[in-house]
C-alpha cells in the first residue's frame, strides 16, 4: 500500500513540476526538433532577443518623450544630448528596428523557400504574417514619433493615402491624423499605437512559439526530416546554434550602430518638422521602400494603396495558393523552376525598393511596374501552377 502511495505521490510531484517554471524550462529544452535544421531556423531566437531589446529601450525612451507637436522633437534632442546614455538608448532602438525588420523578412522568406506554410502548420504561418503586419505598423508609428521632417511628411503621405479610400477615406484620414494635417493629435495616436501594438507583438510571439511546440517545427526535408529517428533535443544541439547566431548578430548590430549609423538613419529627420518646407526627397525607412514604390506605381492613389497593402496581405493566402501536400524540400532538390522563381521574387522585391528610393520617376516607373508584376506573378501564377505540378508528381515524391 505504501508503495502505491509513494508512486502516486511521485506522479503528483511530476505533474506539479511540469506546471512550474523549472518544469516548463525543462520541457522547452527537451523539445524534439528535426536534426537537419540549418542556420535560417535560428532567426527566431535572434528576433526574440532584438524584440526584448526594443521593448526595454522603448520603455526607457518613453520616460523622457513628450507626444506634443511643439515639444516632441526637443524632448528627443534633450534625451540624446543631456540624458544619461540617452544617445545610446536612441541608437539601440533605431538600429534594433532595422535589424528586427531585416531578420523578420529573412524569416518569412525562409518559410516561403521551404514551404513552412504547408499543412499542418498553417496556423504558424498565419500567426507569423500577422506578426509581420503588426511589426510594420509599430515601426511606422515609431518613425513618426521623433517629429523630424521625414516623420511629419511620412505621416502626411500616410494620411493622404488613407483619405484615398472611396467613401470612408475622409473619415479614415481624420481618425489617423486627428485633424486636417499632422499635429499633436497625430503624435498622441501614434504614441499609443506604438506601445499598444509593441506589447501585443510580445503576446503574439508567445502564442506563435506555443503553436510551434504544438504543431512541431518544420524541416528543410519536409515530412522525411520529422521522423522520430531524425529528431534531436532542442538543448544542447540547437541552443548552441541559436547562441552563435545571436552573437554574430550582436557584432553586426554594434558595428552598424557605432560605425555606420547612416545605414539605418535618415539625416533629414534630424531637422524639426516644418509644415511649410517640403523636403526635396521624401522617403520612408528602407524596409518600407518596396511598398512605397508600389504605392507610386500607378496614377490612382487608391489603386496604389491597394497594391501596396496587398503585397503584404497576399501572404495570408499563400497556404491556399500553394496547397500541394508536399511540405518542404531542400534547396538542392527543388525543381529548377522553383529556385529561379524564388530568386526572381527576391530580385523583384529589391528592385521595387530601389524604385521607391528613386520615387518611381522616369525609367524607374517602368522598372517598378515590371518588378511589381513579377512579385504578384509569383504568388498568383507560379504558386498555383507549381502546386498543380507537385500534385501530379506526387507518386514520384513518395518513391524518393
Per-residue three-class SS string for 356-388: HHCCCCCHHHHHHHHHHHHHHHHHHHHHHHHHH
Out of 1.10.3470, 3.30.70, 1.10.287, 1.10.357, the CATH code matching 283-400 is 1.10.287
| CATH tag, 31-268 | 1.20.810.10
Q: Which cell numbers hold the place of 207?
A: 502564442
In whole angstroms, what is the distance from residue 303 CA to residue 264 CA? 30
The burial class, CB within 10 Å (0-12 / 13-18 / 19+), for 144 is buried
Sign of CA dihedral 245, 247, 250, 255: negative
Residue 388's pLDDT band (cuts 50, 70, 90): confident
Q: Count of alpha carbons within 13 Å of 213, Cβ hemisphere only?
A: 15
Domains 31-268 and 283-400 share a fold: no
2: pLDDT strictly greater than 60: no
**What is the arithmetic mean of pLDDT over 252-268?**
91
Q: Within 10 A of 195 (CB to CB), how many other CB atoms are there? A: 17
| Residues assigned a catalytic role | 213, 217, 241-242, 285
Give the span between the Cα atoms of 18 and 21, in whole angstroms.
Answer: 8
Residue 329 confidence (pLDDT): 60
Residue with cell 497576399: 314
pLDDT over threshold 80, residue 190? yes
Distance of alpha carbon 142 from alpha carbon 97, whole angstroms? 9
Look up cell 505521490; give the residue. 9
Instruction: Look at residue 14 in the predicted model and tell me its pLDDT.
Output: 47
pLDDT of residue 303: 93
Q: Which of 29, 18, 31, 26 is nearest to 213 (CA)?
A: 31
Cα gap 217→222, rounded to integer Å:
10
User: Following DSSP, what letter does each residue of 70-100 receive, concatenated?
Assistant: TTHHHHHHHHHHHSTTHHHHHHHHHHHHHHH
Write down the pLDDT at residue 96. Answer: 95
Check residue 267 and report its DSSP letter.
Answer: G
Determine which helix (DSSP H) or strand (DSSP E) holds 33, and give its type and residue range. Answer: strand 32-34
**Neighbour count for residue 262 (Cβ, 10 Å):** 9
Residues 360-373: b if buried by 16+ CB within 10 A, e if exposed: beeebbebbbebbe
C-alpha cell at 111: 518559410
**Nearest-angstrom CA–CA distance, 32 and 262:** 42
267-287 pLDDT, tens digit each: 888 899 999 888 878 889 999
Q: Specify the range with the lowest mean pLDDT, choosing from 18-27, 228-237, 295-304.
A: 18-27
Q: How confident is the prediction for the chain on average, in pLDDT? A: 86
> Residue 238 in contact with residue 171, Cβ under 8 Å?
no
- Can you give the residue ranges of every domain in the chain? 31-268, 283-400
Confidence of residue 108 (pLDDT cuts 50, 70, 90): very high
Q: For residues 39 and 61, which has the higher predicted lDDT (pLDDT)? A: 61
Q: Which residues of 95-126 are buried (b: 16+ CB within 10 A; e: fewer)?
A: bbbbbbbbbbbebbbbbbbbbbbbeebbbbbb
pLDDT exceeds cutoff 70 at 21:
no
The Cα–Cα gap between 239 and 28 comes to 11
DSSP state of 36: T
Residue 59 CA to residue 53 CA, distance in Å, equals 10
Looking at residue 217, its pLDDT comes to: 80
Task: Return the number of other C-beta atoms located less than 10 Å from residue 86's C-beta.
Answer: 18
At 134, give phi and psi (nearest 5°): -65, -40
* pLDDT bracket for residue 400 (50, 70, 90): very low
The pLDDT tens digits of the residues spanning 142-189 come to: 999 999 999 999 999 999 999 999 989 899 999 999 888 899 999 999
pLDDT band at 26 (very low <50, low <70, confident <90, very high): low
3-state secondary structure of 32: strand
Average pLDDT over residues 189-194: 95
Would you tell me how many other CB atoms lie within 10 Å of the CB of residue 307? 20
Structure-model confidence comparison of residues 325 and 266, the more confident one: 266
pLDDT (0 to 100) of residue 367: 95
Biggest alpha carbon distance in the chain?
88
pTM of the model: 0.88
Amino acid at each position: 500500500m505504501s508503495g502505491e502511495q509513494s508512486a502516486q505521490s511521485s506522479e503528483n510531484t511530476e505533474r506539479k513540476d511540469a506546471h512550474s517554471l523549472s518544469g516548463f524550462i525543462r520541457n522547452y529544452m527537451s523539445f524534439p526538433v528535426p536534426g537537419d535544421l540549418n542556420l535560417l531556423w535560428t532567426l527566431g531566437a535572434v528576433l526574440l532577443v532584438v524584440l526584448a531589446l526594443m521593448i526595454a529601450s522603448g520603455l526607457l525612451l518613453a520616460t523622457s518623450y513628450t507626444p506634443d507637436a511643439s515639444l516632441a522633437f526637443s524632448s528627443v534632442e534633450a534625451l540624446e544630448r543631456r540624458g544619461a546614455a540617452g544617445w545610446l538608448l536612441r541608437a539601440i532602438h533605431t538600429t534594433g528596428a532595422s535589424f528586427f525588420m531585416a531578420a523578420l523578412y529573412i524569416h518569412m522568406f525562409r518559410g516561403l523557400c521551404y514551404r513552412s506554410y504547408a499543412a499542418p502548420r498553417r496556423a504558424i504561418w498565419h500567426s507569423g504574417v500577422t506578426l509581420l503586419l503588426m511589426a510594420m505598423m509599430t515601426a511606422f508609428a515609431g518613425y513618426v514619433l521623433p517629429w523630424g521632417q521625414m516623420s511629419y511628411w511620412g505621416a502626411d503621405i500616410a494620411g493622404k493615402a488613407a483619405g484615398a479610400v472611396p467613401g470612408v477615406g475622409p473619415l479614415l484620414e481624420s481618425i489617423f491624423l486627428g485633424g486636417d494635417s499632422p499635429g499633436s493629435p497625430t503624435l498622441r495616436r501614434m504614441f499609443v499605437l506604438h506601445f499598444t501594438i509593441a506589447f501585443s507583438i510580445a503576446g503574439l510571439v508567445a502564442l506563435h512559439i506555443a503553436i510551434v511546440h504544438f504543431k512541431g517545427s518544420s524541416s528543410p526535408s519536409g515530412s522525411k526530416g520529422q521522423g522520430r529517428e531524425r529528431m534531436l533535443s532542442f538543448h544542447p544541439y540547437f541552443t548552441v546554434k541559436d547562441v552563435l547566431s545571436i552573437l554574430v548578430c550582436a557584432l553586426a548590430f554594434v558595428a552598424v550602430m557605432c560605425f555606420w549609423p547612416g545605414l539605418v538613419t535618415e539625416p533629414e529627420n534630424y531637422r524639426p518638422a516644418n509644415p511649410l518646407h517640403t523636403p526635396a526627397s521624401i522617403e520612408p525607412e528602407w524596409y518600407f521602400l518596396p511598398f512605397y514604390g508600389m504605392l507610386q506605381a500607378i496614377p490612382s492613389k487608391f489603386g496604389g494603396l491597394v497594391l501596396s497593402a496587398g503585397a503584404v496581405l497576399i501572404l495570408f493566402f499563400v497556404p491556399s495558393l500553394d496547397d500541394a501536400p508536399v511540405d518542404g524540400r531542400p534547396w538542392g532538390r527543388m525543381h529548377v523552376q522553383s529556385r529561379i522563381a524564388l530568386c526572381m521574387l527576391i530580385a523583384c522585391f529589391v528592385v521595387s525598393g530601389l524604385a521607391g528610393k528613386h520615387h518611381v520617376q522616369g525609367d524607374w516607373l517602368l522598372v517598378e511596374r515590371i518588378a511589381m508584376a513579377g512579385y504578384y506573378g509569383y504568388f498568383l501564377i507560379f504558386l498555383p501552377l507549381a502546386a498543380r505540378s507537385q500534385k501530379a508528381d506526387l507518386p514520384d515524391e513518395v518513391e524518393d
